[in-house]
């Protein structure tokens, strides 16, 4: 299991055709999929392919890997079931950017299985089959697990989902909406920022949407509300939760102004701000937040061990170091002191 937001250090396949085609039966999945992480070659491929794929093709200056996840298996007999999910983001002239840079999200399967997987899709959500790359592709905001994104990125349609009970204006007072994509994790979640002008004075209100592919958003909203209600006791500031829309699986929050840590932390100024950040995180982790499921240390270690074995198999140079880390963790597991179970970031 090779999992990360960027997939940049994969070994190159020995044969690299102009377009990535199917892998040989003896290829490790990481070798078969390495060509898709070659942003120069993929940029050339997309430059030739996108004009015929889309009604409004885009011109770009660079192709970047925004996210990648490779699902593979330990036993060689199961390698044929492996697949790669990868999202490309394209640099374009600033005047062409409205809410986000162009993005293409693709899935490719071992041994030419992409066509069969494409034909088996029950909800294509704008999927394209690209035979030249042996890949199924979605042009953002189309997404196989986030079908609500096109509606949330349409200023005329999203207004019906705003949490007006918590907003300082009614729907008919809206004059203009500017939408920005802050973070996108294909098939999982997306964070959107709405700059809303309203009223005769064109006042501004900043609204955020945290969009989910499943019903976890409702639980996240309840946790945010719980933290907000006890923020003063925690000694932290939390953006005000404004509501949850089940129709589009979106948590709505107001803006919380402040200075990003990256703007103040440097080699000469890090101890005080990092101490303050650490204190806030410790207070948050100590909060009595509602939890649906608890994962034990033993379960966590077993999961990490399994994934590390896959990683070591795909990248042999890391295998011995990974095994040593796991062995040390296993030996120390029983001697660790008990800790309070808590919700951590991402839960």
Q: What tens digit of pLDDT does each residue of 94-135 get?
A: 888 888 999 999 999 998 999 999 999 998 999 999 999 999
pLDDT of 61: 93
- Residues 6 or more apart in contact with residue 62 via CB below 8 angstroms: 39, 43, 90, 91
Whether residue 306 has pLDDT greater than 50: yes
DSSP-derived pairing of the beta strands 203-212 and 250-254: antiparallel
pTM: 0.84
Whether residue 229 has pLDDT greater than 70: yes
Packing angle, helices 297-314 and 319-333, rounded to 10:
170
Nearest CA to 152 among 177, 128, 170, 122?
Answer: 177
Per the prediction, the chain carries an average pLDDT of 87
**Mean pLDDT of the 278-307 span:** 83
Q: Read off the pLDDT band of 40 (50, 70, 90).
A: very high
Q: Read off the pLDDT band of 1 (50, 70, 90).
A: very low
Secondary element (H or E) of residue 148:
none
Could you give the CA distance from residue 308 to residue 302 in angstroms, rounded to a whole number?
10
- Residues 6 or more apart in contact with residue 255 via CB below 8 angstroms: 206, 207, 208, 239
Q: What percent of the chain has pLDDT over 70?
A: 90
Could you give the CA distance from residue 241 to residue 208 in angstroms, rounded to a whole number?
10
Whether residue 4 has pLDDT greater than 50: no
Task: Say how far residue 212 (Cα) sits from the centre of its chain.
Answer: 10
pLDDT of 190: 97
Whether residue 71 has pLDDT greater than 50: yes
Q: Report yes or no: 322 and 308 within 8 Å, Cβ to Cβ.
A: yes
Could you give the CA distance from residue 256 to residue 122 in angstroms, rounded to a whole number?
40
Lowest mean pLDDT among 108-122, 169-183, 282-296: 282-296
**Mean pLDDT of the 71-80 span:** 87
Nearest CA to 140 among 92, 174, 170, 101?
Answer: 101
Q: Read off the pLDDT band of 319 (50, 70, 90).
A: very high
Could you give the CA distance from residue 271 to residue 238 in angstroms, rounded to a whole number?
23
pLDDT of 281: 81
Neighbouring CB atoms inside 10 A of 189's CB total: 20
Nearest CA to 9 among 310, 304, 315?
Answer: 315
pLDDT of 307: 92
């Amino acid at each position: 299991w090779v999992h990360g937001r960027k997939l940049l250090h994969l070994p190159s396949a020995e044969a690299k055709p102009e377009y990535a085609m199917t892998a040989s039966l003896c290829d490790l999945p990481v070798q078969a999929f390495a060509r898709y992480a070659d942003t120069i070659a993929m940029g050339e491929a997309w430059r030739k392919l996108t004009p015929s794929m889309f009604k409004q093709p885009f011109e770009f200056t660079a192709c970047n890997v925004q996210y990648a996840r490779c699902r593979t298996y330990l036993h060689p007999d199961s390698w044929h079931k492996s697949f790669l999910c990868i999202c490309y983001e394209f640099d374009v002239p600033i005047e062409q950017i409205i809410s986000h840079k162009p993005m293409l999200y693709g899935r490719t399967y071992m041994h030419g299985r992409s066509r069969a997987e494409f034909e088996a899709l029950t909800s294509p959500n704008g999927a394209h089959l690209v035979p030249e790359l042996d890949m199924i592709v979605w042009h953002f905001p189309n997404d196989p697990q986030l079908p609500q994104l096109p509606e949330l990125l349409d200023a005329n349609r999203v207004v019906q989902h705003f949490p007006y009970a918590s907003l300082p204006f009614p729907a008919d007072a809206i004059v203009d909406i500017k939408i920005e994509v802050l973070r996108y994790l294909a098939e999982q979640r997306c964070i959107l920022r709405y700059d809303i002008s309203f009223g005769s004075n064109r006042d501004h209100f900043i609204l955020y949407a945290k969009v989910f592919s499943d019903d976890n958003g409702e639980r996240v909203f309840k946790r945010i509300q719980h933290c907000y209600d006890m923020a003063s006791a925690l000694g932290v500031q939390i953006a005000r939760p404004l509501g949850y829309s089940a129709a589009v699986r979106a948590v709505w929050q107001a803006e919380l102004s402040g200075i990003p840590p990256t703007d103040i932390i440097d080699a000469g100024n890090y101890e005080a701000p990092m101490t303050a950040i650490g204190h806030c995180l410790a207070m948050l982790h100590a909060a009595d937040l509602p939890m649906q499921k608890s994962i034990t240390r033993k379960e966590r270690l077993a999961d990490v061990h399994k994934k590390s074995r896959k990683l070591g198999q795909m990248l042999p140079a890391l295998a011995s170091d990974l095994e040593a880390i796991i062995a040390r963790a296993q030996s120390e597991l029983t001697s660790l002191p008990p800790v309070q179970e808590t919700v951590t970031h991402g839960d």
